[in-house]
């Protein structure tokens, strides 16, 4: 195998791994929590981010929170023990509900894409997503709706 063929083969192998990783990440189940607000505050236990399977625990990257006060769910991303983002899953283009694909939020209506911090990756949307302030203590995280 010459150098050019080796580089080409390695490149395809790397692309394949990226694709497989994306597929596997999208197969991970998303935790859905139903809650109600108290004084415009949603409370979510930190333990909701922990998934236990066969005596092994794994930290979820995100969870979905539904409340009757909002027309769309909120996705909450966990970046560290103290850093979270909470985004309304309503496309800023024409109001369709977004799909959560790992760290990528996609609009099934017109293809807009957003990051896990609500930033636009691809239009036609031209406004960032509605986000909420998140605070936390040792037991819970709090999503401030107002």
- Check whether 21 has a pLDDT greater than 60: no
**CA angle 131-105-144, nearest 5°?**
20
Rounded Cα gap, residues 87 and 19, in angstroms? 26
- pLDDT bracket for residue 9 (50, 70, 90): low
Q: What is the pLDDT of residue 77?
A: 96
- pLDDT bracket for residue 3 (50, 70, 90): low
pLDDT digits (tens, 9 = 90+) for 49-83: 998 888 888 899 999 999 999 999 999 999 999 99
Phi then psi dihedrals of residue 15, to 5 deg: -60, -40
Nearest to 64 by CA among 76, 53, 78: 76
Rounded Cα gap, residues 53 and 131, in angstroms? 31
* Helix, coil or strand: residue 98: coil
- Check whether 10 has a pLDDT greater than 80: no
Q: How many C-beta atoms surround the C-beta of residue 132 within 10 A?
A: 21
Whose structure tokens read 């949603």? 42
Q: What is the pLDDT of residue 23?
A: 46
pLDDT digits (tens, 9 = 90+) for 94-133: 889 999 999 999 999 898 999 999 999 998 989 999 999 9
Domains and CATH numbers, the chain: 30-144 (2.102.10.10)
Nearest to 145 by CA among 134, 90, 66, 75: 134
């Amino acid at each position: 195998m010459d150098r050019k063929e080796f580089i080409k083969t390695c490149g395809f192998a790397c692309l394949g791994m990226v694709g497989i990783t994306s597929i596997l990440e999208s197969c991970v189940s998303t935790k859905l929590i139903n809650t109600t607000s108290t004084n415009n505050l949603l409370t979510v236990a930190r333990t909701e981010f922990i998934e236990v399977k066969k005596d092994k625990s794994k930290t979820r990257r995100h969870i979905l929170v539904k409340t009757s006060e909002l027309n769309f769910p909120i996705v909450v991303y966990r970046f560290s023990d103290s850093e979270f983002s909470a985004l309304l899953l309503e496309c800023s283009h024409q109001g369709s509900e977004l799909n959560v694909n790992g760290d990528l939020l996609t609009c099934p209506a017109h293809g807009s894409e957003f990051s896990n911090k609500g930033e636009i990756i691809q239009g036609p949307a031209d406004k960032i997503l509605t986000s909420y302030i998140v605070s936390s203590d040792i037991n819970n995280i709090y999503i401030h709706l107002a």
